[in-house]
Every structure is written in C-alpha cells, then in structure tokens.
C-alpha cells in the first residue's frame, strides 16, 4: 500500500482518500513518517517559513468556540484589553524582523472588528509598513470583502481564517457562527488578491476521518499555508478535561496532511510545547516546514532562538 501511494503521488495521480487513511492509521509509524518525508522533499519548500503574531485585542469575545480562552461564555481569567497601540505593534514587528521572521500578524478576539477598530488596525499596518520590511498578515475573524480590501490596501498580503475542524464536528464545537461563514471569508480574501492561511486544531474529539475531510477542503480551496494547532486544554473552557493526543497520533496526522496537501506549508502553531524534543524533530522530518514562533495568544509557545536552532538542525533553510 505504501509503495502504491508513493508512486501515485509522485506520478501526480489522484490518490483515493480511503487508501491514504488506511495507510496513515494502520501502517507502521516509521513507514508512514518516511513516506511523508519523501513527499515533503519532492514537493514542499525546503525554505522554512517563520511567522509571528501579536494578540492585538484580548478577551470578551461573544462567540462560544469551546476551545477558546477568549470567549465571554467561559471563566478563564485571561487579560482583557482593546486594540493595542501602534508603538507596541511596530516594536514587536521590528523585533521579529531582526530574528529573520518573514511574516507578522495582528490577531484580535471577537467575531470581527467594528469600523472604528478596523481603522485603527489599518493605521497600525501602515505604520509597520513604513518602519519594517516584514510581510504582513491579519487574523481578525469573519470580516467582509470591503474590510478585506481596506486591509489589503494597508499592506496586508495574507489573511488567516482557520476552518478549525471538519464540517460535521464544527457545529458541536461552536454554534454562534458556521464553518460556511469562514469559507466565505476565505474566498473573499482570495478575491481581494490575498493569499490565505487556514488550518485547524487537532485533539478536540475528532477522528482521523474528520482531519482528512478538513485537509481535503483546504486542498480544494487552494490553501498553501496550513496551521496545525494541538488543543491546549484551558481551564474554564468546555474542553478543559480533554485527553491529550499521543505523539504517535500527532505524527500520523501531520503525515496525513502532507499526503493530501503535498505542496503546502504545514505550520506548527499553538500547543506544540506539549510535544517532546524528539517528537518535534520527528514532526519536522515528517513534513512541518513552517511555524508560528514566540508566544502564541493565550498559550505559551517556545522561544525564537530555540525554534531557529531546531529548524537548522532539521536541515531546513531560513
């Protein structure tokens, strides 16, 4: 089965998703990892893409996403504040640029910014653009086409909007907005001329089949930057007692995404600090070729120096 799938992928043929799932779930782990590694070498970029984010507005989110510490529906005791200042954002962007980080994003809580907040955010992006050469991304929720146009005109090149999980799982985890609304935002960003970063969270009770379905939707949408978050069980949220995934299942999931999306940047995102050092090395070998570095929203990531060391040791270029 492994040899057949490898040959089909290398020939550019369509591979049956059921065959990929069977391989990922039942073949020996070292064979699954090696197949994903070979696909990564042939199709994916060897130039590692580092990005960083700033939590530009925190807390009081009206949405009820069960995984999120920022929802007003749950008591998580996180810090709450409005849009941060231009000076703070410019400082963070400049610091990341000095480390060689190629992208910088403002991330805000809430369904989407109001007009006043959006004007402030666009002003921040213009200020960063004046002072830095770092590429600009945005993650501001379910913004509409006109808002996306303003962001694009302010220098934003990429918009981030995660699908989070499969269509069948999404409604069980969030009822205040739909996955269809997310896809509308993604398509609107693409229409504006932006590239899109979209992925999800694994470990929220979904099956490997759910993950494959999400990976296929991302492929159909033409997404080439796919963040893979590991659920960080946050006290006070409905998922606080969710059992962590084993490192083997995490690695098999990364391999699944690589087999379905051979050319994409698979981006390590939130929750990866729960993986062992050896697990991180295996993940990079399996197909992770990009990462959000530094602190990640309400959960702690790892230091940039630490990440750069790991990336270089794994054979990637920066």
User: Above pLDDT 90, what percent of the chain?
Assistant: 83
Calculate mean pLDDT across residues 135-161.
98
**What is the rounded distance in angstroms from the CA atom of residue 73 to the CA atom of residue 238?**
10
**What is the rounded distance in angstroms from the CA atom of residue 16 to the CA atom of residue 178?**
28
pLDDT, position 88: 94
CA distances from 248 to 32, 84, 207, 226, 256 (A): 11, 39, 14, 20, 12
| Fold held by 2-313 | TIM Barrel (3.20.20)
- pTM (2 decimals)? 0.94
Residue 149 has pLDDT above 80, yes or no: yes
* CA nearest to 164, candidates 270, 73, 70: 270
Residue 298 has pLDDT above 50, yes or no: no
Is residue 258 classed exposed, middle or buried when 0-12, 13-18 and 19+ CB atoms within 10 A define those classes?
buried
**What is the rounded distance in angstroms from the CA atom of residue 211 to the CA atom of residue 200?**
9
Collapsed DSSP state (helix, strand, coil) of residue 94: helix
Calculate mean pLDDT across residues 183-198.
98
pLDDT, position 308: 85
pLDDT, position 30: 97
β-strand partners of 200: 164, 228
**For the ranges 17-26, 117-126, 208-217, 290-299, which has the lowest average pLDDT?**
290-299
pLDDT, position 297: 42
pLDDT band at 237 (very low <50, low <70, confident <90, very high): very high
- The total of other beta-carbon atoms located within 10 Å of residue 215's CB is 28
Calculate mean pLDDT across residues 92-102.
91
Calculate mean pLDDT across residues 241-262.
97
Calculate mean pLDDT across residues 157-163.
98
pLDDT, position 295: 53
Higher pLDDT, 293 or 42: 42
**What is the rounded distance in angstroms from the CA atom of residue 1 to the CA atom of residue 5?**
6
pLDDT, position 196: 98
Cα-based angle 95, 98, 101 (whole degrees, multiple of 5): 90
Phi-psi category of 155—alpha, beta or left, where left has phi over 0 and alpha has psi -120 to 50?
left
CA distances from 287 to 82, 264, 265, 291 (A): 37, 10, 8, 12
Domain spans in the chain, listed from the N-terminal domain onward: 2-313
Mean pLDDT of the chain: 94
CA distances from 232 to 68, 175, 305 (A): 9, 20, 23
pLDDT, position 300: 42
pLDDT, position 302: 57
DSSP classification of residue 138 = E
Strands (E), 47-155: 49-57, 103-108, 135-139
Q: Is the dihedral of CA 209, 260, 308, 106 positive or negative?
A: negative
pLDDT band at 57 (very low <50, low <70, confident <90, very high): very high
**For the ranges 143-147, 154-158, 181-185, 267-271, which has the lowest average pLDDT?**
267-271
């Amino acid at each position: 089965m492994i040899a057949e799938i490898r040959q089909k992928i290398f020939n550019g043929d369509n591979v049956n998703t059921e065959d990929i799932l069977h391989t990922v779930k039942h073949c020996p782990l070292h064979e699954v990892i090696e197949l994903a590694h070979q696909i990564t070498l042939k199709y994916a970029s060897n130039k590692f893409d580092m990005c960083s984010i700033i939590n530009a507005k925190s807390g009081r989110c009206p949405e009820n996403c069960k995984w999120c510490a920022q929802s007003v529906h749950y008591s998580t005791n996180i810090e709450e504040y409005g849009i941060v200042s231009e000076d703070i954002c410019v400082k963070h962007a400049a610091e990341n640029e000095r480390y060689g980080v190629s992208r910088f994003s403002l991330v805000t809580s809430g369904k989407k910014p109001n007009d006043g907040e959006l004007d402030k955010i666009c002003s921040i992006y213009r200020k960063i653009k004046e002072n830095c050469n770092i590429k600009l991304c945005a993650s501001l929720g379910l913004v509409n086409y006109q808002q996306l146009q303003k962001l694009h005109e302010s220098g934003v090149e990429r918009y981030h909007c995660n699908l989070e999980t499969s269509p069948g799982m999404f409604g069980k985890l969030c009822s205040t907005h739909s996955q269809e609304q997310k896809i509308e935002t993604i398509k609107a960003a693409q229409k504006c001329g932006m590239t899109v970063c979209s992925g999800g969270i694994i470990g929220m009770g979904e099956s490997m089949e759910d993950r494959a379905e999400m990976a296929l939707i991302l492929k159909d949408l033409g997404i080439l930057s796919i963040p893979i978050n590991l659920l960080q069980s946050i006290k006070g949220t409905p998922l606080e007692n969710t059992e962590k995934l084993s490192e083997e299942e995490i690695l098999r999931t990364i391999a699944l995404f690589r087999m379905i999306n051979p050319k994409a940047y698979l981006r390590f995102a939130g929750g990866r600090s729960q993986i062992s050092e050896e697990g991180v090395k295996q993940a990079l070998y399996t197909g992770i070729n990009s990462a959000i570095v530094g602190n990640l929203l309400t959960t702690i990531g790892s230091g940039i120096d630490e990440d750069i060391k790991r990336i270089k040791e794994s054979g990637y270029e920066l």
